[in-house]
Amino acid sequence: MKNFLKTSRLEKDYIFLELTRSICPVCKKTVDAQVRVRGEKVYMFKRCAEHGEFEGLISSDVNMYRHSLAFNKPGRVPLEYGSEVKHGCPEDCGLCPDHQQHTCVALLEITDGCNLCCTSCFAKATGSKYLDLKTIDFMLDSYVRCEGSPEVLQISGGEPTLHPDLFKIIEMAHSKKIKHLMINTNGVRLAEDEDLARRLADCNVELYFQFDGFEPRIYEVLRGSKEVFKLKQRALENISKYNIPTTLVATLAKGLNENQVGEIINYGLKNKFVKGVTFQPMIYVNEKIEFDPMDRLTLPDVIKEIDKQTKSLFKVSDFIPLPCPYPTCCSLTYAFIKDGRVTPITRKVDIEKYLDYFSNTLITTPAPVLRKALEGLWSASATFNSASVLKDFVCVCGIPFNKDALEHLKDNVFRIVVKPFMDAYTFDVKRAMKCCIHVIQPDGKLIPFCVYNNIYRDRRK
Ligand code: SF4
Ligand code: SF4
Ligand code: SF4
């Protein structure tokens, strides 16, 4: 006779919120996952038949988590899918017809090598391969076939500035009529070679510059050496000298550098070449780093730190979830700077009124114009050397539209983004299915970024 499990009939210590699918952190097989609320925090619990039970913190604030769910807009279909639906998400990438959003931003990883050795590297950039131009040409054409006129390409790696044909690749991407090019860089070569900064300044590119704070000890933990801080400083001097539009991108690890967010924002506000900052809470990438999935920084923690450290120059309420991916993937805000005064855009317009898609399905004129402009700003593909973003900004803020206004805004709009990527503890197929940031593969397929990092990167090596 079967033995049934006896219990003491207690109440569960959590509220069961929803069922989703995730992956086992050990074998990466797809498993069912429960989203649970305990106290004011949201956790993901899952069980792998072979490796046991796992639980990880998803959000430290259930109210912010639930509130964000309303900012979810209908997805757009790409012009072409790259795979069929066969086994179910996340095994059919892609993109497969079950995917819920087209590509807002594509990543082109042109090398698997790097001149740093970061403990937090999700690209696992320890190789020495450089993609050849023929393969890159094919990959870019695949992106164009899927998108028509693609919005944003991030040239990435590894460290893309190591590629001997970097400038040919930039030229090639421009020739495909991709609207905006970004270079994701750690800045080491920009520190060592001023001429590289000079040449990049002439290429109509934006830099996505890894910068984790102002203390050398941070770089010792995250980037392998205290000395990296000096390289960052030198790189910033060169970037500033040639005025290359730049977003500072900080990985934030709990107890290490979340105290830096205010200073990073202040630095950005004071330096015209810095157009914005992006904060990425550290994710679990491998067993070599000390990491507690139950005690990590999550999106609400970062936003609350920003409020605290900027003395409410930017408040928690200024951050609105991004509606093109799944809305727990990203929150952001914009501000404009006039005569040294910084005003978050949310103080001018009730953005929630327009981007809460469940409450506002019936908005009528003139709201659609404003909503469209807001959608332009609250898009993963919004970049700073884009006239359309500045026009949207003008529209939202009611600034009289003319050439001078656009020119002025170029140097006086500032954006703060908080982007918690998924790791094996937080991986949720709902977020994967609506991801709008995709990695172009040498065979032309597009794979959502977090899916690629958690599942496919190792398989494809
Ligand atoms: S992540 Fe998207 S493309 Fe990949 S299997 Fe899921 S639905 Fe398909
Ligand atoms: S700089 Fe970037 S690619 Fe290089 S090791 Fe660090 S995280 Fe990885
Ligand atoms: S990359 Fe990850 S965090 Fe960003 S939109 Fe895609 S699934 Fe969400």
pLDDT in tens, 326-360: 999 999 999 988 888 999 988 888 887 777 777 66
Pick the CATH number of 105-459 from 3.40.50.1980, 3.20.20.70, 3.30.365.10, 2.60.40.10: 3.20.20.70
Q: Which residue has the higher pLDDT, 349 or 71?
A: 71
Name the closest-CA residue to atom 3, ligand 3.
421
205 lines ligand 3 (CB under 6 A): no
pLDDT of 55 > 90? The answer is: yes
Give the separation between CA 305 and CA 262, rounded to whole angstroms. Answer: 8
431 lines ligand 3 (CB under 6 A): yes
Query: Are 457 and 445 contacting, i.e. CB atoms less than 8 angstroms apart?
Result: no
Query: Are 97 and 84 contacting, i.e. CB atoms less than 8 angstroms apart?
Result: yes
Residue 2 has a pLDDT of 66
Q: What is the DSSP string of 285-306?
A: --TTS---TTS---HHHHHHHH
Task: Tell me the backbone φ, ψ of residue 105, rounded to 5 degrees.
Answer: -135, 130
Q: How many CA atoms lie within 13 A of 51 on its CB side?
A: 13
Closest-lying ligand to the alpha carbon of 455?
1
Query: Are 442 and 107 contacting, i.e. CB atoms less than 8 angstroms apart?
Result: no
Residue of 450, 454, 455 best suited for mutating to test ligand 3, as the one with most atoms within 8 Å of CB: 450
Residue 94 has a pLDDT of 87
Ligand 2 atom with the smallest distance to the CA of 124 is 8
Ligand 3 atom with the smallest distance to the CA of 448 is 6
Give the separation between CA 288 and CA 202, rounded to whole angstroms. Answer: 40
Which residue ranges make up each domain of the chain?
105-459
Q: Which two tokens stand for residue 20?
A: 């989703």
How confident is the prediction for the chain on average, in pLDDT? 91
Q: What contacts 60, CB < 8 A, 6 or more positions away?
A: 40, 41, 42, 298, 300, 301
Task: Tell me the backbone φ, ψ of residue 406, rounded to 5 degrees.
Answer: -65, -45
For 390, the 3-state DSSP assignment is: helix
Give the separation between CA 207 and CA 225, rounded to whole angstroms. Answer: 23
449 lines ligand 3 (CB under 6 A): yes
The residue-averaged pLDDT of 68-95 equals 93
User: What is the chain's length?
Assistant: 461
The residue-averaged pLDDT of 299-315 equals 98
pTM attached to this predicted model = 0.94
435 lines ligand 3 (CB under 6 A): yes
pLDDT in tens, 370-402: 777 788 888 877 776 667 777 777 777 777 667
- Write out 425-456 in H/E/C secondary structure: CCCCHHHHHCCCEEEECCCCCEEEHHHHHHHH
The residue-averaged pLDDT of 241-262 equals 97
Query: Are 110 and 161 contacting, i.e. CB atoms less than 8 angstroms apart?
Result: no
Nearest to 258 by CA among 287, 321, 215: 215
CA distances to 111, 205, 235, 358 from 209, rounded to whole Å, are: 17, 12, 9, 36
Burial class (CB in 10 A: 0-12, 13-18, 19+), 53: exposed
If you measure from the C-alpha of residue 446 to the centroid of ligand 1, how many angstroms do you get, rounded to a whole number? 9
Q: Where is average pLDDT lowest: 155-164, 188-197, 338-347, 404-413?
A: 404-413
Residue of 184, 378, 421, 425 best suited for mutating to test ligand 3, as the one with most atoms within 8 Å of CB: 421
Residue 365 has a pLDDT of 45
pLDDT in tens, 141-164: 999 999 999 999 999 999 999 999
Q: What contacts 366, CB < 8 A, 6 or more positions away?
A: none
450 lines ligand 3 (CB under 6 A): yes
Q: What is the DSSP string of 209-224?
A: EE---S-HHHHHHHHS
Give the separation between CA 60 and CA 294, rounded to whole angstroms. Answer: 10
143 lines ligand 3 (CB under 6 A): no
The residue-averaged pLDDT of 190-202 equals 97
Q: What contacts 381, CB < 8 A, 6 or more positions away?
A: 104, 105, 151, 152, 180, 436
82 lines ligand 1 (CB under 6 A): no
pLDDT of 24 > 90? The answer is: yes
98 lines ligand 1 (CB under 6 A): yes
Give the separation between CA 44 and CA 36, rounded to whole angstroms. Answer: 6
The residue-averaged pLDDT of 363-372 equals 62
Instruction: Provide residues with CB under 6 Å of ligand 2.
Output: 114, 116-118, 121, 123, 125, 157-159, 186, 210
If you measure from the C-alpha of residue 160 to the centroid of ligand 2, how many angstroms do you get, rounded to a whole number? 10
Share of the chain above pLDDT 70, in %: 95
